[in-house]
């Protein structure tokens, strides 16, 4: 892992992009990383485009601004590829992760000439199979951890188990479904 990894999340209100960024920061912090996880607020409402950010490092993070030149971008809703310049400032040494059932080859023409790594995952299918509902943030979170290499899969799964056990103590079925979605996403990101 390079010294500082910056991630920008694009989603729509209610899809969990902000939650994914905050969970990633929480889990990275729990293993001793320096972290930032924050949303960019505007006139958010259900379905409106939102942006969230992560910085993860082994060293102190001294910058406190939005992320303009991310190493990685997560696109939780592929319809944003038509509405938002998701590749703006994106490093060609990093990559973009898109939630879609389409192939990488179908997505590349929508990325405004981006020349870096392109990853896809069908977070809809994974979440619906694991949870019975469409919550794309957990599969997207696991896929982002895998492609960035910010931590090993086993460490991530273990720390997420602890975090979610606390959050869903009275809803074991939600815990089980989320853990299944995380594990499947690690295997299915392309």
What does the pLDDT profile of the chain (190 residues) look like in tens digits? 568 999 999 988 878 888 899 899 999 999 999 999 988 866 656 667 889 999 999 999 998 888 999 999 999 999 999 888 999 999 999 999 999 999 999 999 999 889 999 999 999 999 999 888 888 989 999 999 999 999 999 999 988 888 877 776 666 667 778 888 899 898 888 8
Please give the model's pTM, rounded to 2 decimal places: 0.90
C-alpha to C-alpha distance for 51 and 9, rounded to whole angstroms: 5
pLDDT for res 186: 87
Strand ordering across the sheet containing 72-75: 34-40, 49-57, 4-12, 72-75, 95-99, 117-121
pLDDT for res 109: 92
| Consecutive H or E run containing 18 | helix 17-30
Would you state the structure tokens that stand for residue 62, as one six-digit string?
């001294």
C-alpha to C-alpha distance for 67 and 55, rounded to whole angstroms: 9
β-sheet bridge partners, residue 37: 54
| Consecutive H or E run containing 77 | none
Q: Which residues neighbour 73 within 8 Å (Cβ) at sequence distance 6 or greater?
A: 7, 8, 9, 10, 86, 87, 90, 94, 95, 96, 97
pLDDT for res 46: 66
pLDDT for res 131: 84
The closest of 130, 134, 135, 106 to 118, measured between CA atoms, is 106
Alpha-carbon torsion, ordered 40, 45, 46, 47, to 10 deg: -70
pLDDT for res 168: 67
Q: Around Cβ 69, how many Cβ atoms within 10 Å?
A: 11
């Amino acid at each position: 892992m390079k010294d500082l990894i910056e991630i920008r999340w694009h989603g729509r209100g209610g899809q969990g992009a902000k939650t994914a960024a905050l969970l990633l920061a929480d889990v990275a912090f729990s293993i001793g990383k320096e972290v930032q996880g924050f949303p960019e607020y505007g006139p958010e409402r259900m379905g409106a485009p939102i942006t969230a950010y992560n910085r993860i490092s082994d060293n102190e993070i001294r910058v406190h601004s939005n992320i303009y030149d991310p190493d990685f971008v997560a696109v939780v809703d592929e319809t944003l590829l038509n509405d938002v310049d998701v590749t703006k400032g994106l490093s060609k040494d990093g990559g973009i992760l898109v939630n879609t059932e389409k192939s990488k080859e179908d997505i590349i023409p929508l990325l405004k000439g981006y020349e870096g790594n392109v990853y896809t995952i069908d977070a809809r299918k994974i979440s619906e199979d694991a949870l019975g509902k469409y919550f794309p943030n957990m599969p997207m979170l696991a896929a982002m951890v895998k492609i960035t290499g910010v931590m090993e899969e086993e460490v991530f799964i273990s720390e997420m188990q602890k975090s979610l056990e606390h959050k869903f103590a009275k809803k074991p079925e939600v815990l089980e479904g989320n853990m299944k979605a995380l594990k499947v996403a690690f295997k299915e990101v392309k």
